[in-house]
Structure 1
Amino acid sequence: MTLAPDLLILGAGPAGSRAALRAQACGLAVVLVDENADAGGQVWRARPPGFELRGPGMNPDAAAGDALRAELRAQGVVCRFDHKVWNVGTDLRTDLVGPQGLVSLAPRALLVATGTTERVVPFPGWTLPGVIGLAGATILLKSQGMVPGERTVVAGNGPLLLAVAAAILDAGGQVQAVIDLASRWDWLRTAPALVGRPDLVRQGLRWQSQLRRARVPVHRRHAIRRIDARADALEVHIGAVDALGRAQGEATRMLSTSAVAIGNGLSPSTDVTRLLRAEHDYRPELGGWIARTDADGRSSLPGLYVAGDGAGIAGAAAAGWHGELAALACVHDLGALDAPAYWAARGQLQAQWRKAARFGRAMAGLMALKPGAVESIDAQTVVCRCEDVCRADIDAAVREGACTMNQVKAWTRCGMGPCQGRTCGDVAAQLVAAQVGRREDVGYFRGRAPLRPVSLSAMAGDYTYADIPIPKAAPL
């Protein structure tokens, strides 16, 4: 079945949902697609049926997500949840697989609002059971009120550190320690960006107060060196790092814990734009590689728009405004809004976006990949967990002549697994660039279909062996 809406939006987080509401209000026929069961994305993740969560740490996000989902229903936006996008063609034809099988849509315009992917800088033991990402921990906490373990060490860099630690305490869990790559001064330098966001100042102060009351030790300018599995616990070894995240000396402390939640920031999701060969720029302060767009989300390809953190990390609040900006540009480009009305609405949205993005961009700086942390990865540490490729394999490929990410992929299979390089790509590229030159020269993994693993049964549908046409035998 092929449908032809005016605008197809991929991703129902803050950016995609606000874009859908704005575009539909302007008269476009909109279809909103997400692989989750409801709108909200990772920030405003919907709770499964039957879950009623309580706790001061999660209520603001839950309330905002519920309000967004209610607005989508009230406005009658056509939504296809539980649908995975597995291919997008150069004519913007988009192929999905969902509960009822395959669906194809041929929109006049495509808006990509697929958010970000969590980054973890590998270390020995990062693939052990009980070690999860900070984003994974937020999913457990927000959607089902589950803590990662009886005792949890929270580690990495960026604002999710405090958010996850406070949420674990709210849910009745125990936080053994917070291991922060950043120094106190790194955090203080973001203070000017808090002007105009007293709500976030209060939230941050509440999180810090919770940690102090619970007597949670915070180890600043430290990182996890390795994790060892024991019969009944995980042994977490930590040590000091310098401003670039480079290990300084030997590990100095060992913590025995049930679980570890770790994250080293976020990378913009560029699967679709790389697949379509749109132009990209490397912007480390915005999360890494991003599709090249104008201020309103127009990409280098006609009819293709990018909105939200996928166009450069700026936070959930800014993502919503950016989604509306991109939707407005699409409405204007498709001829559904005249120039005076477009420019008047655009000016208001731009002002709102700039105000929200100021804080988000400061937080993105705290989450930026630290080259020293990558430099400190041990030779035998697994970088690509899908294909079991360690740092030594990548280094050897570079020494033998591989100088771009696609060459490294062909020589080592790094990035060929189910995640298609979303987990390992950023770190692997930094390892290659350390020997070859700039990240811009190293490039990124080429996007390929299927964008997500798709089963053969889903692709075949009701088609069986008996349906294969068998030609008649040729006459002798």
Structure 2
Amino acid sequence: MTDETDLIVVGGGPAGVEAALAASERGLSVRLVDEAPQAGGQVYRAPPRAFGAKSQQKADRLGVALRDRLCASTVQTHFDHIVWSVSPGYRIDALGPNGAVSWRARAVIAATGAQERVVPFPGWTLPGVTGLAGATIMLKSQGMLPGGLTLVAGQGPLLLAVAMGILKAGGKLAAVVDLASQAEWLADWPAIASRPDLAWRGLSWQMALRRAGVPMLYRHAIREAEAKGDQLLVTLGPVDAGGAPIAGPEREFLVDAVTVGNGLTAATDITRLLRAGHRFEALRGGWVPERDEDFRTTLSGLYVAGDGAGIAGAAAAAIDGRLAALAVAHDLGRLSDETYQRLTMPLRRKARKAKRFGTAMAKLMALRPAQVAAIAAGTIVCRCEDVTRGEICAAVREGARGVNQVKAWTRCGMGPCQGRICGDIIGQLVTGTGNARVEAGYFTGRTPFRPLPLDELAPPIAYGDLQLPPPAPL
């Protein structure tokens, strides 16, 4: 037997919290489920409660305000709960501190955010190499530095954010290595200037890094990383506008840690599992759910909001969350057409403005096919199953015509991450070996979304209690 509610929101970031709040304000019964201990998502991640009140007070004021509003609402919150399955009829299965739980809902908003992308290079699986998002969690949630001396590399705004986080925490930076050029940062200046607060913050970060004497290497990327005792020897080199290595002087850095990231992709576990329609949008993070202007997917009762519907940034995600919740309230008969239009019109105007800035950042984070094409044949792409680029491309040459067939032939994407880390890269490799990106497709959604202890999902049972079927006749 499962509890039933009007709306379940999966994801406790800006989009999810605003969706839950807006829906509860319209009189809907709402559950908000997230695997983190507190609301905020990645951008407003809260420090652990065990760190004390002083640490909580130092957290981002926007995140604190978000959590305070949620606490004062009627939303039923379920933190520390891992959603591992969403079934037709909108049954949500989760695993929490007290074991397995299930709920049913009339509607679901998937506000699952984004996941980071790392374009593989030789040595990216070594200890001491982490993603930019992973480094953010270490800094925000645990107050830990990636290492004593860290090299930060990749592309997009998270690059500077992590570098400044390390600097503020007392760490040392060997260099900041940006795949983009300075001209690319300025190319969409009108859109960036639409958020003068964020534009100024980015400029101030760059000035602070330069004052600290941190080398800023534009249009460069990591060629390889090699273990040298307890440290990493990292080789850098110039790249062209597509991200492919070009001739030019290489530089070496001996560091304690490397943190690297090449943008974000939409987290689409739920929509892929339920077989909602998806389309490929390179500038929004790859494969994203199809949705109408009211955030409805191709499945009745399933809505998406935030970066899980396409990368656009935290400000746009928060507004989209409220819009999606109002659409749910309208569809469930809690809002008239006239009231719905009156409430959503100003929000849509704000969303368009917020997305100007978010789209400019998304362009900087977009995958560069030439960088993927330059991955060496012996480089591991699927780190869960140790599948190399050469093995993936060999499968395509031998007849595999999509990522799911490559998965069946090579086991790439079958590990604990279920292709979240490698799926986007594998799709581009399949595309670059002679298939259109749409034909390459995306990994089919499977349950469980995350690895789970089976003894938590099934009650203990003695062998003698098993109900065995009768033997088949000879």
Q: Normalising TM by the smaller chain, what interval?
A: over 0.9
1:281 partner SS = strand
In structure 1, which of residues 431, 435, 438 is the aligned counterpart of residue 436 of structure 2?
A: 438
- The one-letter code matched in structure 1 to 2:212 is A
* Equivalent in the alignment of 1:371: 369
Classify 1:59/1:185 alpha carbon distance in 2 versus 1 (closer, same or farther; 3 Å). farther
2:49 partner SS = coil
* Equivalent in the alignment of 2:93: 95
1:148 partner SS = coil
Q: Which segments of structure 1 move beyond 4 Å, counting only runs of 4 or more?
A: 52-55, 58-61, 462-467, 469-473
Pairwise mapping of residues 77-226 of structure 1 onto structure 2 (< 5 A)?
77-226=75-224
* Equivalent in the alignment of 2:26: 26
Classify 1:321/1:61 alpha carbon distance in 2 versus 1 (closer, same or farther; 3 Å). farther
Is 1:317 paired with 2:315? yes
TM-score normalised according to structure 1 size: 0.96
| CA deviations over 1:225-266 (Å, ceiling 9, x no partner) | 000001131100000100000011366110010000100000
2:287 partner SS = strand
In structure 2, which of residues 399, 402, 417 is the aligned counterpart of residue 401 of structure 1?
A: 399
1:225–1:251 contact (8 Å) kept in structure 2: no
Classify 1:158/1:59 alpha carbon distance in 2 versus 1 (closer, same or farther; 3 Å). farther
* Equivalent in the alignment of 2:276: 278
| CA deviations over 1:89-134 (Å, ceiling 9, x no partner) | 1221111111111111110001100001100000000000000000
1:4 partner SS = strand
Aligned CA-pair RMSD: 1.8
Classify 1:52/1:173 alpha carbon distance in 2 versus 1 (closer, same or farther; 3 Å). farther
* Equivalent in the alignment of 2:12: 12
- The more displaced of 376-385 and 464-473 is 464-473
Classify 1:278/1:182 alpha carbon distance in 2 versus 1 (closer, same or farther; 3 Å). same
2:401–2:435 contact (8 Å) kept in structure 1: no
- The one-letter code matched in structure 2 to 1:380 is G
Classify 1:472/1:354 alpha carbon distance in 2 versus 1 (closer, same or farther; 3 Å). closer
Classify 1:5/1:276 alpha carbon distance in 2 versus 1 (closer, same or farther; 3 Å). same
| CA deviations over 1:258-295 (Å, ceiling 9, x no partner) | 00010000000111101111000000011100000012
Classify 1:251/1:465 alpha carbon distance in 2 versus 1 (closer, same or farther; 3 Å). farther
In structure 2, which of residues 57, 65, 68 is the aligned counterpart of residue 67 of structure 1?
A: 65
Distance 2:14 2:354 in 1: 13
- The one-letter code matched in structure 2 to 1:9 is V
1:327 partner SS = helix
Q: CA deviation at 1:470?
A: 7.3
Q: CA deviation at 1:372?
A: 0.9
Q: CA deviation at 1:146?
A: 1.3
2:381 partner SS = strand
Classify 1:466/1:101 alpha carbon distance in 2 versus 1 (closer, same or farther; 3 Å). farther
Q: CA deviation at 1:50?
A: 3.3
- The one-letter code matched in structure 2 to 1:109 is A
Q: CA deviation at 1:173?
A: 0.5
Distance 1:184 1:32 in 2: 41
Classify 1:52/1:63 alpha carbon distance in 2 versus 1 (closer, same or farther; 3 Å). farther
1:6 partner SS = strand
Q: How many residues align?
A: 471
TM-score normalised according to structure 2 size: 0.96
Is 1:233 paired with 2:221? no
| CA deviations over 1:143-180 (Å, ceiling 9, x no partner) | 12211100000000000111110111101001110110
- The one-letter code matched in structure 2 to 1:164 is V
- The one-letter code matched in structure 2 to 1:407 is Q
Q: CA deviation at 1:464?
A: 4.8
Classify 1:242/1:460 alpha carbon distance in 2 versus 1 (closer, same or farther; 3 Å). same
Distance 1:189 1:164 in 2: 23
Classify 1:470/1:160 alpha carbon distance in 2 versus 1 (closer, same or farther; 3 Å). closer
Classify 1:361/1:105 alpha carbon distance in 2 versus 1 (closer, same or farther; 3 Å). same
Pairwise mapping of residues 386-465 of structure 1 onto structure 2 (< 5 A)?
386-465=384-463
- The one-letter code matched in structure 1 to 2:50 is G
Pairwise mapping of residues 313-352 of structure 1 onto structure 2 (< 5 A)?
313-352=311-350
1:7–1:107 contact (8 Å) kept in structure 2: yes
Query: What runs of 5+ residues in structure 2 fail to find an aligned partner?
Result: none
Q: CA deviation at 1:61?
A: 6.3
2:307–2:317 contact (8 Å) kept in structure 1: yes
Q: CA deviation at 1:51?
A: 2.4
Query: What runs of 5+ residues in structure 1 fail to find an aligned partner?
Result: none
1:101–1:461 contact (8 Å) kept in structure 2: no
Classify 1:181/1:472 alpha carbon distance in 2 versus 1 (closer, same or farther; 3 Å). closer
Distance 1:206 1:214 in 2: 12
Q: CA deviation at 1:461?
A: 3.4
In structure 1, which of residues 378, 381, 394 is the aligned counterpart of residue 379 of structure 2?
A: 381
**Identity of counterpart residues, as a percentage?**
56
2:198 partner SS = helix
Q: CA deviation at 1:363?
A: 0.1
- The more displaced of 42-51 and 112-121 is 42-51
- The one-letter code matched in structure 1 to 2:97 is P
2:46–2:59 contact (8 Å) kept in structure 1: no
| CA deviations over 1:190-248 (Å, ceiling 9, x no partner) | 21112331211221122011101110001110000000001131100000100000011
- The one-letter code matched in structure 2 to 1:89 is S
- The one-letter code matched in structure 1 to 2:28 is L
- The one-letter code matched in structure 2 to 1:70 is D
Is 1:39 paired with 2:39? yes
2:174 partner SS = strand
Distance 1:49 1:466 in 2: 45
* Equivalent in the alignment of 2:48: 48
Q: CA deviation at 1:410?
A: 0.3
Is 1:2 paired with 2:2? yes
1:320 partner SS = helix
Classify 1:110/1:462 alpha carbon distance in 2 versus 1 (closer, same or farther; 3 Å). same
Classify 1:177/1:70 alpha carbon distance in 2 versus 1 (closer, same or farther; 3 Å). same
